[in-house]
């Protein structure tokens, strides 16, 4: 059951060692408006505030002699413990290159949660004990590596927040997005109907909703077969 409408429907806490990377993408457009409408509360936490020693260290050399620094378990454990004192969390998500690949279905699922934590990795990664004992879910934005988890975290947050009721001005818009029905979206056009001889398909100008819907469904299927054929063979 959702909370009273005066309280945000969702709270997202993001833990990062470079919180500045998250401030702009989560302050504008749809996410920014959702925050202003009090539909979601997003808090960005600087892990260095939980760093150890006079230099607030959050990373150290790895056992085994591998190159690169690793985020330590203690600062992460301490900040998550403090957050859990304030509320219960449905998930603690680690943005990881080897996690489950983010899909529209996962975004839909997470949009129904009330409180989630997103942990951004950095450097060579995080102490594996964090993944074993503190993280409940690992999500990847693709089979490639970026400098840190901040941009993937912003991407994940955006994909979730836009699905919260009231976040979009046209609530049916999200339902017609690519991947919502397992297919890519059909082509879309706007005025003018004829630009330099590049014409909008006649069916979209017909005013016949049934013909338009049939055309859109056919186009969605054709584009999916051409560009993302694997979507047609997924069992889920």
Q: Looking at residues 102-109, what average pLDDT do you find?
A: 95
Q: Say if strands 69-71 and 59-61 run parallel, antiparallel, or are unpaired.
A: antiparallel
- Where are the CATH 1.10.1270.20 domain residues in the chain? 178-233
Overall size of the chain counted in residues: 236
pLDDT of the residue at 173: 61
Tell the CATH superfamily of the 10-161 domain.
SPOUT methyltransferase, trefoil knot domain (3.40.1280.10)
**Tens digit of each residue's pLDDT (9 = 90 or more) over 46-96:** 999 999 999 999 999 999 878 789 999 999 999 999 999 999 999 999 999
Residue 223 phi, psi (nearest 5): -65, -35
| Over residues 117-141, mean pLDDT | 96
pLDDT tier, 34 (very low <50, low <70, confident <90, very high otherwise)? very high
Parts of the chain belonging to CATH 3.40.1280.10: 10-161
> In angstroms, what is the C-alpha Rg of the chain?
21
Tell me: pLDDT of 17 over 80: yes
pLDDT tens, residue by residue, 163-212: 999 998 765 465 555 556 788 989 999 999 999 999 999 999 999 999 99
How far apart, in whole angstroms, are the C-alpha atoms of residue 226 and residue 206?
27
d(CA 182, CA 220) in angstroms, rounded, equals: 10
- Poorest-confidence range of 6-10, 22-26, 75-79, 189-193? 6-10
CATH code given to domain 178-233? 1.10.1270.20
Structure tokens belonging to residue 72: 């330590």
Binned at pLDDT 50, 70 and 90, residue 9 comes out as: confident
Contacts of residue 221, defined as CB under 8 A and 6 or more positions apart, other chains included, come to: 183
CA angle 198, 223, 191 (to 5 degrees): 30
Structure tokens given for 27? 């302050």
């Amino acid at each position: 059951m959702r909370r009273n409408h005066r309280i945000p429907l969702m709270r997202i806490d993001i833990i990062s060692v470079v919180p500045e990377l998250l401030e702009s993408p989560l302050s504008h457009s749809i996410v920014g408006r959702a925050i202003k409408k009090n539909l979601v509360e997003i808090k960005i936490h600087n892990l260095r505030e939980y760093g150890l020693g006079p230099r607030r260290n959050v990373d150290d050399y790895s056992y085994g002699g591998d190159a690169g620094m690793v985020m330590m378990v203690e600062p992460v454990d301490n900040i998550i413990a403090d957050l859990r004192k304030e509320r219960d969390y449905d998930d603690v998500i680690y943005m990881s290159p080897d996690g489950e690949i983010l899909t529209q279905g996962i975004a839909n699922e997470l949009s129904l949660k009330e409180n989630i934590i997103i942990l951004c990795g950095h450097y060579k990664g995080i102490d594996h004990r964090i993944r074993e004992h503190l993280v409940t879910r690992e999500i990847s934005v693709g089979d490639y590596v970026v400098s840190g988890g901040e941009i993937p975290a912003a991407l994940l947050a955006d994909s979730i927040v836009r699905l919260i009721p009231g976040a979009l001005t046209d609530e049916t818009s999200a339902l017609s997005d690519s991947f919502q029905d397992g297919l890519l979206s059909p082509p879309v056009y706007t005025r003018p109907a004829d630009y330099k001889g590049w014409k909008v398909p006649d069916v979209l100008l017909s005013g016949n909703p049934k013909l338009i819907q049939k055309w859109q469904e056919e186009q969605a299927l054709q584009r999916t077969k051409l560009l993302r054929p694997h979507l047609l063979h997924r069992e889920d």
